[in-house]
Structure 1
């Protein structure tokens, strides 16, 4: 017990500040200044089980339904808090902070989505941030993106595939991004559009981790799929079982463990490659590694941007409080322009 407490204390003292710093930088929109942040980006074909994976990691229900449920990027900030007895969560979007609860989270996300992307079935690149503070959740920040679809349904724009592709590529292209590719065990991995997209920006799969859903639906040949690795998943595979029906998340984990320890085909898969707890642990380790690797360069880029901005600010005219000051500033600008023109004329 003392060892666990010491480990938790070390984590909170050393790792949590790094995660908080990256989240604060994201809120400050430094990416709009060309500074990329280490991010775990969740991609998958439509109906691949993306929502189920995120629900299992966060322990909350997310919007479901026919067609595209995720119509805007959803940034999920999961913060484990062993001292809390009641989960707390809120949404951040459009400059607003909207408190919500486990029972109301789906309605709150739907309302925010309508405000951003409209009441139809269109999509938008403007994100919603969901902050979840809850006992027993991993400390992770994940970006969930719209599921990939080729054929627009009624109410969707005809170029829905191109719109979704553009958003996905913006998030997965930076070298600082880790790609969490959600694949259904019921399909052949090389045919997945999400695999094709991720390989365009990560050819060798060095920053791609795959989570295989619906393992209970198609156990035949799954071991070969995740060991032969025809699609180059450099960070490896984790096979999971989705929550079914009215199961609680705790019951789902019990059933998941029973499945992988009793099924004659699935029990052959290595224990380091199965289960939501393993996935949460892998993602946490990967996140810490990528932050440690990228943070020094991020600090350097921020300082360079700051120095350039300060230089530009210092070169601007001082506060002009009188007409005389304004006249002096105009004369100075005219003089600089004249000198520039003379240099151009002299150079021919």
Structure 2
């Protein structure tokens, strides 16, 4: 129960100055001092990765010890139990710890402050919570990040500065005491030694190798270092063989202390030696401190909870306190409802927007590359031949692809409209970032059916082959469609000419605007070209060389110097306007031409081949829109809906993504409230259980 409280506390962002002062045993020591081995002896299992001289503890490991019928270990975030009596499970556990450490360490770093939480249960284990920290180093070696030393100090200080943390200070007895830097660090954090327990490791090696036995005696009597401690312990954690069992190490340790001549001369008592006695002492100290501090910590969280609840009532009186996960579920349901709405779009709406969008995409090609080149041939047979050739080339190479592009963009636009359009008073902008991310990721994952273009090509070929307009209504619709297209092009051409020649006399008079020299030249050239067009109304699309020369000389006679390329550019727009106006007049004449068309009469004035072309285009657009609509509603909308569900499932598993997409004061306040309540409830339950224990 206590460990669960610490887990929740470690996840809590203390934005409201609520400090975590609950006790835990912090195991600190120089690298290779044997701190991990001490922890393993207390846990009665060799659970940590090992390496000769290499830094193995790369992030804090919180080990929660408790009694249980079987000796097992399991991670906080996993249901798998590792049987610590089986060598293969121990190897798997060590491998998993190593993998988690490597995962925690970010690129360019050597250690990480992120904690790995591990529970160990077994018969006779002393109940407590220990945190094994990376070993303190004095020098950064090659392969380490430059800031490794400072980072380890920072991590160690963060754990030791808790006023109720019990510091288990591990000192290697086999090396010169002056080489240790951990004792100075511990003295800074606990100068009076009220919560420090000193442990001297590798005493067997010290007794064998150290020239001055009195120095060891001074260490274990607390006289050599300025550091003060609650108690001093001496332990032996094996002969340095990584394959030794816990039982073998314990037997060797007990045998050593029974026969040690060095320790018999010191003031150490029997209860101050062996890891078994150390474990009992640490457990007693730990629980004494827990009982003294836990109720004060609970009171602190009650006050924090009251402050947070008051802040919520003042800021969001009409809203429920939904945390990030609850908000995500609410947003998920809204998004799924909106995607379902996509399948309820009417066929008529789909076809209208598809037809309009497709025409906007292809209209320039139809006018510029098919209609105008054919219409300028001045011959009915040549017109139809040119049109058929260009339509065939278009449908073979470009049209199906353009149609599929339009359909996919239309689906995206409709999907975006449903996802991002405010829903009146009920709209909650807190979901906007999440919805946008779901929309983008779903679209990114969606791949249009590869066979769509091939089937569409055949349909479009057949539609454009048909020239038979069956009734007057279709004829009038084609004329109206043609007029709209030509008027739009005429408007664009008028704007181009206006920009080319500058403001007319009215704008110059009313708005005090003047023409530039270039605009003046363009205007004079335009006027000269218009005179020529009036003389020859059936003029071809291109100017002859002698005509360009004539225009240039006429302008020069009026003092206007002009380049032949400028004459050609101006002619292109002047002739285009003339042609479009003529085509619109002819379009008006063709309104009464259906009778002649139906009976195949040949009347030069009413040869309305251009109306038939626009009818073919219009019919192709309608059939294409219908085909694309069927593909959208029968296949693509459902596939997109499936993508949305998959994206939502992926986002649901990604806590970092949710934190990034569901943000703001309201979310953070609800998150803090949830966590503070959870901590308080766990603390209250723990305190009640603690009172019931003898």
Same fold (TM over 0.5): yes
Unaligned ranges ≥5, structure 1 = 1-19, 327-348
Q: Secondary structure at the match of 2:121?
A: strand
Question: Is the Cα–Cα contact under 8 Å of residues 80 and 139 in structure 1 kept in the other structure?
Answer: yes
Provide, for residues 300-327 of structure 1, a one-character-per-residue CA deviation record: whole Å limited to 9, x for no partner: 111011111111111123346973999x
CA distance in 1, matches of 2:112, 2:245: 32
Question: Is the Cα–Cα contact under 8 Å of residues 79 and 138 in structure 1 kept in the other structure?
Answer: yes
CA distance in 1, matches of 2:30, 2:196: 15
CA distance in 2, matches of 1:35, 1:51: 25
Q: Which has the higher strand share?
A: 1
Q: CA deviation at 1:131?
A: 0.6
TM-score normalized by the length of structure 1 = 0.80
Question: Is the Cα–Cα contact under 8 Å of residues 56 and 243 in structure 1 kept in the other structure?
Answer: no
Q: CA deviation at 1:193?
A: 1.1
Q: Which residue of 1 aligns with 2:217?
A: 223
Q: Which has the higher contact order (CA 8 A, sep 6+)?
A: 1
Question: Is the Cα–Cα contact under 8 Å of residues 239 and 275 in structure 1 kept in the other structure?
Answer: yes
Q: CA deviation at 1:57?
A: 0.9
Instruction: Sort the Cα spacing of 1:171 and 1:306 in 2 relative to 1 into closer, same or farther, 3 A.
Output: same
- Find 2:145's aligned residue among 157, 172, 193: 157
Q: Which residue of 2 aligns with 1:323?
A: 425
Q: Based on CA coordinates, which of the two structures has the bigger radius of gyration? A: 2
CA distance in 2, matches of 1:108, 1:325: 46
Q: Which moved more, 1:210-219 or 1:153-162?
A: 153-162
Question: Is the Cα–Cα contact under 8 Å of residues 45 and 194 in structure 1 kept in the other structure?
Answer: yes
Q: Which residue of 2 aligns with 1:24?
A: 4
- The answer to whether structure 1 residue 88 and structure 2 residue 72 are counterparts is yes
Q: Which residue of 2 aligns with 1:294?
A: 293
Q: CA deviation at 1:197?
A: 0.7
Q: Which residue of 2 aligns with 1:340?
A: none
Q: Secondary structure at the match of 1:36?
A: coil
- The answer to whether structure 1 residue 115 and structure 2 residue 112 are counterparts is no
Provide, for residues 155-214 of structure 1, a one-character-per-residue CA deviation record: whole Å limited to 9, x for no partner: 210111101111010000121111100001123445521111111111121211011100
Q: Secondary structure at the match of 1:218?
A: helix
Q: CA deviation at 1:152?
A: 2.1
CA distance in 1, matches of 2:156, 2:306: 32
Question: Is the Cα–Cα contact under 8 Å of residues 121 and 155 in structure 1 kept in the other structure?
Answer: no
Q: Which has the higher helix share?
A: 2
Q: Secondary structure at the match of 2:221?
A: helix
- Find 1:253's aligned residue among 250, 253, 263: 250
TM alignment of 1:1-348, pairs within 5 A? 20=1, 22-29=2-9, 32-33=13-14, 34-61=19-46, 62-65=48-51, 66-81=53-68, 84=69, 86-92=70-76, 96-97=77-78, 99-101=80-82, 102=84, 103=90, 104-118=92-106, 122-189=110-177, 191-219=179-207, 220-221=213-214, 222-231=216-225, 232-244=227-239, 245=241, 246-268=243-265, 269-319=268-318, 323=425
Question: Is the Cα–Cα contact under 8 Å of residues 180 and 211 in structure 1 kept in the other structure?
Answer: yes
Provide, for residues 104-140 of structure 1, a one-character-per-residue CA deviation record: whole Å limited to 9, x for no partner: 1110101111221158871110100111111222212
Q: Which residue of 2 aligns with 1:11?
A: none
Unaligned ranges ≥5, structure 2 = 85-89, 208-212, 320-422, 429-694
Query: What is the aligned-residue RMSD (CA, Å)?
Result: 2.3
Instruction: Sort the Cα spacing of 1:168 and 1:98 in 2 relative to 1 into closer, same or farther, 3 A.
Output: farther
